[in-house]
Structure 1
Amino acid sequence: MADDDMLSWDESVFRDEHVLELDYLPDTFLHRDDQMETLKYALRPAVRGSRPLNVMARGPPGTGKTTAVQKLFDKLRGVSDVDVVRVNCQVDSTRYAVFSRLFEGLFEYEPPASGISFKKLFGQITDRLVEEDEVLVVALDDVNYLFYEGEASDTLYSLLRAHEAHSGAKIGVVVVSSDLGLDVIEELDTRVQSVFRPEDVYFSAYGEREIVDILSERVERGFRDGVVSPQVLDRVAAYTADSGGDLRVGIDLLRRAGLSAEMRGSTDVAVEDVESAYEKAKYVHLSRHLRGLSESEAALVRVLADHDGEQAGDVYEAFSEATDLGYTRYSEIVNKLEQLGLIETEYADVGGRGRSRALSLSYDADAVVDRLDGEAG
């Protein structure tokens, strides 16, 4: 490699590396005009001081649902008498935790860590809305986690019935789900179904040409000129399409490939950088899910790493020995991990003893444990 193809120690292939981070909110939001128009239609009444329409935004992971909500919320923050709060339900997965986050969003400080009942917390939120004549728009991002914890119906019921509990309280709800196997309406209690009639906004997986368009803009803003060739971009787009059109895979892959090029001291990203980075980038979903696990849920994942493919009863014995937890909690965790796509279950006949489930990790066991250790560290 010639010297002019080598980076000096203080140079970078990046123009703005933050553009290639997963929490970056792009100025231009391509290929989502129809979805944005429906969201604007539903939320526009809030600008006029009325309760907005409720919305259900759903679609595969990495298809722009959260970005759409954040961009609209940024605009609504500039409207007087409208409050917006986005709740990450992977982190706040109980009704109390959701309302604590709403309290913090309205009052700009956290409620007391203990000693305040849900009824009082709820009352302080609705009092504020009525006294200030404000409209609150709530986004329950990754609402599927509320369902996994059995908290979805109670949470939505409290939000949707707030105006009955406190006349004049105006709250609109946007639920966001990436779990295509979850029928949000069907899984809610009938008391919630009767009042939850949301506008349905579907975010389909991006096609490969759409992926190229979107990633091209990230490349233009994030990398220096000429660093990423069309061939490299096409390879990243192909991997992204293979992942179900999840843009987060492609964005993460671009950044890792850039870091790989820098590690080599190169002034441009090569296809080989993409190939080596893909082994790490393809685990972006795994890392995201592992971050949201409780201690007991992570413990079962560790047990499965040592007992991959074994019968559910044998796995339970090892899990119980490690945690002292009972079978009911074990079964709940198994169901949640399966819904998250972290584990797979397969029923098989066990000679003369009927049918039994075998449990397997959906990812390489070493990769799972490495990332669990990284989260713990």
Structure 2
Amino acid sequence: MTGNDILLWDETLFKDPSVLEPDYLPEYFPHRESQLNGIRFALKPALRGMRPLNCLLVGPPGTGKTSAVMKVFGEVEAHAPSVVTVKVNCQIDSTRFAVMSRIYRKLFGISPPNSGIAFRKIFETVVNFLVSSEKVLLVALDDLNYLCYEGHANEVMYSLLRAHEQYPGTKIGIIGIVNDASDLYCLDSRVNSVFLPEDIPFPRYGSTEILDILKDRVKYGFYPKVISDELLELVVSYVERTGDLRVGIDLLKRSGFNAERRGSRTISSEDVEKAYEASKLLHLCRGINLLSGPEKHLLELIAKRGEVQAGELYKSFHELTQLGYTRFYGIVNKLQVLNYIDADFTGKGQRGRTRIIKTKFRAEDILNCLEKK
């Protein structure tokens, strides 16, 4: 390393570190135009003071669902002062009281009393304000399925969706965000009959799309020539393994820190590989943390068994959870789609074909993540 290659103690590779944060909302938001237009179409009635259409955004983690909603919410707030937008993270606000408190805070700027006040009272305060002020409310329920696990999904959805029946003049639209539509198994018929969402799918990004997006982050996040095109291709290959764009953004940031630690003005392949080793378990754990209780139970059984036939696995799963075969089969398929397991058919079963199920990751890594839940 020559003198010119050495990074001085008060110098940095990062032009704008915020560009490489996971919650950064970029100006350049490509490869999601049809999804953005789908959300805009559904929300368009709200701009005219009408009740909007409901939406359901479905796709794997890191495919731009939340960012797309926040992008459109920003447009709506800039052009329609009579529309109020609220994003609720249902992983954090996973009860009906917490969801309504989040909406209350957006409307009134303060939190409701957290004791001695019923859900119904907060709800009435919210809808009465909406009616008297003639405002339309748009609620994005991010990771909506987490309301299922706590048993609050039906009450939250029913209250919001049918508010106009009990309180004439109320205008509320819901945007549900989930990784898989089957995650909403808990919604009952009275909710589904009024939810009737516009389905907006978010497929995984392809390699050229990932490269395009990461190039933009590099352009604004780093100074010129910090990372080569060849190394950016390496980052893309790591992202393709997970399908999660956030992995690539995190890798860029960690690689930059590794280069700075060495005092280098450029990122090396060792910096990227070291960053991936440090972050891959972090992302595995984050993905596993998004699974429901039964999904975690099944993944744990598979990790502990190593390689197991579907019939044996179902027997253990049923004993543990009391859930039936249909639910078991759906979870196996979901874990396979999310790339946590292989569930291939063989010719060794009693009827000629059986599924042999095993994990795609090291068992100890999966069990470590499950212990951290």
Deviation at 1:371, TM superposition (A): 7.0
Q: How does 1:1-377 map to 2 (within 5 A)?
A: 1-78=1-78, 79-179=80-180, 182=182, 184=184, 187-244=186-243, 246-288=244-286
Q: Compared with structure 1, are the counterparts of its residues 199 and 112 closer, same or farther at alpha carbon in structure 2 (3 Å cutoff)?
A: same
Q: Helix, strand or coil for the counterpart of 1:15?
A: coil
| Residues 55-91 of structure 1, C-alpha deviations (whole Å, 9 max, x = no match) | 0111111111000001111122232111100000111
SS of 1:194's equivalent in the other structure is helix
CA distance in 2, matches of 1:147, 1:114: 23
For residue 47 of structure 1, what is the amino acid of its counterpart? L
Of 32-41 and 283-292, the range deviating more from structure 2: 283-292
> Residues 34-72 of structure 1: CA distance to partner in whole angstroms, max 9, x if unpaired?
111111111011111111110011111111100000111
Q: State the distance in 2 between where 1:137 and 1:293 align.
A: 26
Displacement of 1:342: 12
Alignment check: 8 A CA contact 1:56 1:198 kept: yes
Query: Matched residues in 2 for 1:271 and 1:262: separation?
Result: 14
Q: What is the CA distance between 1:92 and its match in structure 2?
A: 1.1
Whether the 8 Å CA contact 1:144–1:179 is kept in 2: the answer is: no
Which portions of structure 1, spanning 4 or more consecutive aligned residues, are displaced by more than 6 angstroms?
A: 290-294, 306-312, 337-346, 359-362, 368-373
SS of 2:57 mapped into structure 1: strand
Tell me how far apart the structure 2 counterparts of residues 94 and 254 of structure 1 sit (CA, whole Å).
36
SS at match of 1:188: coil
Q: For residue 354 of structure 1, what is the aligned residue in structure 2?
A: none
Q: CA-to-partner distance for each residue in 1:119-167, whole Å, 9 max, x for gaps?
A: 1111011011011110000000111212233322222111100111211
Structure 2 CA distance for aligned equivalents of residues 115 and 98 of structure 1: 17
Q: 1:163 to 1:88 in 2, by over 3 A?
A: same
Which one-letter code corresponds to 1:99 in the other structure?
M
User: 2:342–2:360: 8 Å Cα contact kept in structure 1?
Assistant: no
SS at match of 2:224: coil
Q: Tell me if the contact between 1:286 and 1:342 (Cα under 8 Å) persists in the aligned partners.
A: no
Residue-by-residue CA offset, 1:157-186 (whole Å, 9 max, x unaligned): 111001112111110000011136x263x6
Give the aligned partner of residue 348 of structure 2.
none
Separation in 2, partners of 1:8, 1:238: 31
Find the counterpart in structure 1 of residue 352 from structure 2: none
Deviation at 1:369, TM superposition (A): 8.0
SS of corresponding position for 1:23? coil
Query: How far has the Cα of 1:22 moved from its partner?
Result: 0.3
Query: In the comparison of the two structures, how many residue pairs are matched?
Result: 352
Following TM superposition, by how much is the alpha carbon of 1:255 offset from its aligned partner in structure 2, in angstroms?
Answer: 0.8
Which structure 2 segments of 5+ residues have no match? Answer: 344-356
Alpha carbons of structure 1 residues 368 and 241: separation in structure 2 relative to 1, 3 Å:
closer
TM-score of the pair, normalised by structure 1: 0.80
Aligned 8 A contact 1:99 1:122 in 2: yes
State the alpha-carbon separation in 2 of the partners of residues 195 and 212 from structure 1: 40
User: Alpha-carbon deviation of 1:372?
Assistant: 8.6
Offset at residue 364 of structure 1 (A): 5.0
Query: Would you say the 8 A contact 1:57–1:202 is kept in 2?
Result: yes
SS of 2:53's equivalent? Answer: coil
* Aligned residue identity for 2:63: T
Partner-residue secondary structure (3-state), 1:51: coil
Write the deviation string for residues 200-245 of structure 1: whole angstroms up to 9, x where unpaired.
Answer: 111111100011000000000001100110001111111111212x
Partners of 1:361 and 1:99 in 2: CA distance:
39
Using the TM superposition, give the Cα deviation of residue 268 of structure 1 relative to its aligned residue in structure 2, in angstroms. Answer: 0.5
Residue aligned with 1:168, SS: coil
RMSD: 3.7
Contact 1:91 1:292 in 2 (8 A): no
Question: Unpaired segments of 5 or more residues in structure 1?
Answer: 317-326, 347-358
**C-alpha spacing 1:48/1:234, structure 2 compared with 1 (3 Å):** same
Structure-1 separation of matches of 2:290 and 2:180: 15
Structure 1 residues 337-346 or 96-105, which shifts more? 337-346
Identity %: 47
1:152 aligned partner, one-letter code: A
Letter in 2 for 1:111: P
**TM-score (normalised: structure 2):** 0.81
Shift of 1:290: 7.2
